[in-house]
């Protein structure tokens, strides 16, 4: 654990040395999916990014509690309309219970994550199971004077908050800019200011998901769950908060405001944001209608896909780019990833076929050293992969008889390589029999959906 991990902190916009509050313990919170639709490539990017961070922190000797939520209450689509809940809308359309939908897509998400080799987090709390905690949080915000009630709904008073603290620190905007960016002023809104956001919404009669509260029968606001659940499981102060860049504003900004309003100080110390996956240069997303679901990738059942792509190919593809860069999807890039992965995994297997010699012509300690150096540099997975490929070449050379390696070094090489590839990067050999059973239900589902 003597690594000097450096992370890019969105809050400071700089690279900072990672120093946990209470080493060797690390608290990590990442925004999980809203389970109202099929998980797509974008979900994979976020999950894999923080899965590798989780794995690398553990590899570095930290004891990590990783919390990743499931949003099953849904978020408001538009605060200008009646407060439609995404999950409720879909439920009505399909004549299902909201929780049935949430459960279905949660299962789907879990299957996809298993296939992708994404480890289960330490805790995976659901928003619907933490209504009480969210109500308590609202009360605290009320007590500190940063909330107001109107007609059964409770709103966060951004202006009052901004006078004492700085609203917009994370996304780098001022309140004035936020005002300027507000598009339509919804006439008879209950909010005092357009940038105020809901902490509790009174449920309209047609709204299916609702819970009792001191203010009304209703449901919690968009940003509350993460504040409530991170505090509950990681404490008022924890180390890292992650999520997609698209969540930076308003979601994470509001989270910070809620935490500070309730406790007087920041909750998370390091904010990390993974960038988007693009398709022909445009963000891939459900709302844009250009998202390809993970099961479609596994089955090859989307019109834009020339073939099926295995979960490990997807993982390798994502790892080949730095998490803060956009990553452009294409069949060509995926096919390149598929072949690269194959070569890497073959080389790992080749280690076992190398015959040891009396002395080594290679320095096996360089592998781990160089790998760590890359990972310590803001989780630079593409460089880490390049290090791996240097060793792919060395392994093949040794196997071909160009150079020699001692028995001890060979054992070290094997162990290190397997640890890095398998335990830290989470890549497994797809030849393994277990793989088919992991994606079979997903493939079936994707094919049925056609």
Touching RNA, residues 337-356 (CB under 7 A) = 337, 339-340, 343, 346
Segments in 24-174 forming alpha helices (H): 41-59, 86-94, 98-115, 131-143, 158-164
Confirm if 404 and 345 have CB atoms less than 8 A apart: no
Q: Is 322 in the site for RNA (CB under 7 A)?
A: yes
**Which of 9, 10, 46, 360 lies at the binding interface for RNA (CB under 7 A)?**
46
366 belongs to the binding site for RNA (CB under 7 A): no
Q: How far apart are CA 359 and CA 377, in angstroms?
A: 33
Of these, 7, 234, 247, 424, which contacts RNA (CB under 7 A)?
247
Tokens matching residue 142: 């009320």
**Total of chain residues touching RNA, rule CB under 7 A:** 80
> Contact with RNA (CB under 7 A): which of 188, 205, 303, 332?
332
Q: How far is the CB of 24 from RNA (least distance, A)?
A: 27
Cβ within 8 Å of residue 295, ≥6 positions away: 38, 108, 112, 301, 442, 443, 445, 446, 449
Compose the 396-435 pattern: x for residues touching RNA by CB under 7 A, - for all others. xx-xx-x---------------------------------
Our finding on whether 160 is near RNA (CB under 7 A) is no
d(Cα 98, Cα 94) in Å, to the nearest integer?
A: 10
Q: Which of 101, 209, 327, 364 binds RNA (CB under 7 A)?
A: 327
Return the residues of window 369-398 that contact RNA according to CB under 7 A. 380, 382-383, 385-386, 389-390, 392-393, 396-397
Residue 180 in contact with RNA, rule: CB under 7 A: yes
Q: Considering beta carbons, is residue 325 or 434 the nearer one to RNA?
A: 325
Phi and psi at residue 23, to the nearest 5°: -60, 150
Nearest-10 crossing angle of helices 311-319, 381-399 = 110
Q: How far is the CB of 145 from RNA (least distance, A)?
A: 23
For residues 89 and 357, which CB has a smaller minimum distance to RNA in the complex? 89
Determine which residue in the list 54, 59, 72, 86 makes contact with RNA, applying CB under 7 A.
Answer: 86
Contact 26, 60 (CB under 8 A): no
32 binds RNA (CB under 7 A): yes
Per CB under 7 A, the list member of 5, 11, 28, 43 interacting with RNA is 43
Q: Does 53 bind RNA (CB under 7 A)?
A: no
Closest residue by Cα to residue 157 from 143, 177, 171, 173: 143
Distances 165 to 265, 318, 427, 447 between C-alpha atoms, Å: 10, 37, 44, 52
Q: Which stretch binds RNA (CB under 7 A): 89-97, 125-133, 313-321, 436-444?
A: 313-321
Q: In the window 276-295, what residues touch RNA (CB under 7 A)?
A: 276-278, 281-287, 291
What is the DSSP pairing of strand 277-279 with strand 197-202?
Answer: unpaired
In terms of CB distance, is 163 or 393 closer to RNA?
A: 393
Interface characters, 187-216, with RNA (x: CB under 7 A):
----------x-------------------
- Judged by CB under 7 A, which stretch of 116-124, 237-245, 431-439, 440-448 contacts RNA? 237-245
Residue 416's CB: how many other CB atoms inside 10 A?
17
Name which of residues 129 to 148 contact RNA (CB under 7 A): none
Residue 42 interacting with RNA (CB under 7 A): yes
- Nearest-angstrom CA–CA distance, 321 and 214: 48
Structure-block tokens of residue 1 = 């654990």
Is the separation of the CB atoms in 309 and 257 below 8 Å? no
């Amino acid at each position: 654990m003597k690594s000097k991990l450096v992370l890019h902190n969105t809050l400071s916009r700089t690279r900072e040395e990672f120093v946990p509050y209470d080493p060797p313990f690390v608290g990590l919170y990442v925004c999980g999916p809203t389970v109202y639709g099929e998980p797509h490539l974008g979900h994979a990017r976020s999950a894999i990014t923080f899965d590798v961070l989780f794995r690398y922190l553990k590899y570095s000797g930290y004891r990590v509690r990783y919390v990743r939520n499931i949003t099953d209450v849904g978020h408001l689509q538009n605060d200008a309309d009646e407060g439609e809940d995404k999950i409720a809308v879909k439920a009505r359309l399909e004549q299902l219970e909201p929780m049935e939908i949430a459960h279905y897509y949660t299962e789907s998400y879990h299957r996809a994550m298993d296939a992708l080799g994404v480890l289960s987090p330490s805790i995976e709390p659901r928003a619907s199971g933490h209504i009480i905690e969210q109500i308590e949080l609202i009360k605290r915000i009320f007590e500190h004077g940063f909330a107001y009630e109107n007609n059964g709904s409770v709103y966060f008073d951004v202006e009052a908050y901004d006078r004492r603290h700085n609203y917009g620190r994370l996304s780098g905007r001022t309140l004035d800019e936020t005002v300027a960016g507000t598009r339509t002023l919804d006439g008879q809104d209950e909010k005092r200011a357009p940038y105020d956001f809901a902490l509790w919404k009174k449920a309209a009669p047609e709204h299916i998901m609702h819970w009792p509260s001191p203010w009304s029968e209703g449901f919690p606001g968009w940003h509350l769950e993460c504040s409530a659940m991170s505090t509950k499981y990681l404490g008022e102060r924890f180390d890292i908060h992650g999520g997609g860049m698209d969540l930076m504003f308003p979601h994470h900004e509001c989270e910070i405001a809620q935490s500070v309003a309730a406790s007087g100080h920041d909750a998370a110390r390091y904010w990390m944001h993974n960038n988007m996956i693009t398709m022909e240069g445009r963000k891939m997303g459900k709302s844009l209608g250009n998202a390809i679901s993970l099961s479609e990738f596994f089955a090859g059942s989307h019109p834009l896909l020339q073939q099926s792509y295995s979960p490990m190919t997807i993982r390798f593809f994502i790892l080949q780019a730095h998490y803060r860069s956009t990553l452009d999807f294409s069949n060509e890039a995926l096919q390149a990833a598929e072949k690269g992965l194959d070569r890497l995994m073959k080389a790992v297997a080749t280690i076992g076929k190398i015959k040891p010699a009396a002395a080594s012509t290679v320095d096996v300690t360089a592998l781990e050293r160089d790998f760590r150096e890359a990972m310590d540099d803001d989780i630079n997975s593409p460089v880490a992969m390049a290090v791996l490929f240097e060793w792919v070449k060395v392994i093949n050379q040794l196997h071909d008889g160009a150079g020699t390696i001692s028995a001890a070094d060979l054992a070290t090489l094997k162990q290190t390589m397997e640890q890095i590839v398998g335990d830290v990067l989470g890549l497994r050999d797809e030849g393994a029999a277990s793989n088919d059973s992991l994606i079979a239900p997903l493939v079936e589902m994707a094919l049925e959906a056609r």
